[in-house]
């Protein structure tokens, strides 16, 4: 393998890890194995710390392909709790409001999900990596500052209801780059005249890369120590 010339690695991000930590972990062990002090490493699509699943990491000259890889369609499996919201739309923050759920049925959920297929406008979460006047939105939101992000046009190719144990539902979503599943949970809750937040999220596919094709970062050291590594960048 030639990490300077460029390799594309597929990793299954563990729960609680930041995308930055995954990149740092890969960089550290690749540099150790190569006997170099630095190497360019980047990822093709952030995953929140509370999400797991497919992360594509590029090294060396392959980092030029990050933007191309980010455009690939993504698939997620999301666990959503209806009837309550949090400021971040997931479990990073405590519940800040509760709403009725007695009127919600499986049939109503299935009908409501159909309205999200196709082109939709979605307002990103305040707790997101979007840039606002040169600063990350989540940094401003964590300081208690008002963050007003403009809606973005996205494409949802598929939404499937996998489980319905009210007030909890599990859905499969196939969507375009830039979709926030936390914001989708928020919007589904509102469409059901209730509230909602994510309780779990796994990115199961990016393009043709599936989660079963991915390496656990905890096994990365052993894996790279078994590889034949070249140091030239020709």
Q: Which residues are catalytic?
A: 48
Q: Which of helix, strand or coil describes residue 24?
A: helix
Pairing of strands 84-85, 97-98: antiparallel
With b meaning 16 or more CB within 10 Å and e meaning fewer, what string describes 112-136?
A: bbeebeeebebebbbbbebebeeee
Max CA-CA distance within the chain?
64
Instruction: Output DSSP code: residue 143.
Output: T
**122 contacts 152 by C-beta, under 8 angstroms:** yes
End-to-end alpha-carbon separation of the chain, Å?
13
Please state the φ and ψ torsions of residue 182, each to the nearest 5 degrees: -60, -45
Instruction: Output DSSP code: residue 45.
Output: S
């Amino acid at each position: 393998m030639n990490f300077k010339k460029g390799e594309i690695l597929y990793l299954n991000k563990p729960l609680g890890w930041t995308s930055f930590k995954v990149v740092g972990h890969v960089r550290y062990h690749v540099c150790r194995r190569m006997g170099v002090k630095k190497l360019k490493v980047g990822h093709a699509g952030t995953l929140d710390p509370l999400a797991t699943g497919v992360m594509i990491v590029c090294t060396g000259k392959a980092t030029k392909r990050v933007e191309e890889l980010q455009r690939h369609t993504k698939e997620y499996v999301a666990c959503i709790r209806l009837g309550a919201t949090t400021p971040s739309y997931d479990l990073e923050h405590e519940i800040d409001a509760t709403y009725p759920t007695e009127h919600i049925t499986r049939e109503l959920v299935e009908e409501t999900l159909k309205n999200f297929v196709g082109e939709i406008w979605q307002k990103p979460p305040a707790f997101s990596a979007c840039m606002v006047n040169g600063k990350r939105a989540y940094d401003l939101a964590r300081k208690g500052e008002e963050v007003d992000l403009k809606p973005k046009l996205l494409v949802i190719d598929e939404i499937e209801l996998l489980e319905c144990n009210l007030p909890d539902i599990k859905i499969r979503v196939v969507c375009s780059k830039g979709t926030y599943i936390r914001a989708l949970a928020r919007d589904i809750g509102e469409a059901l005249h209730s509230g909602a937040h994510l309780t779990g999220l796994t990115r199961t596919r990016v393009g043709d890369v599936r989660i079963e094709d991915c390496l656990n970062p905890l096994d990365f050291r052993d894996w790279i120590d078994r590889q034949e590594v070249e140091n030239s960048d020709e």
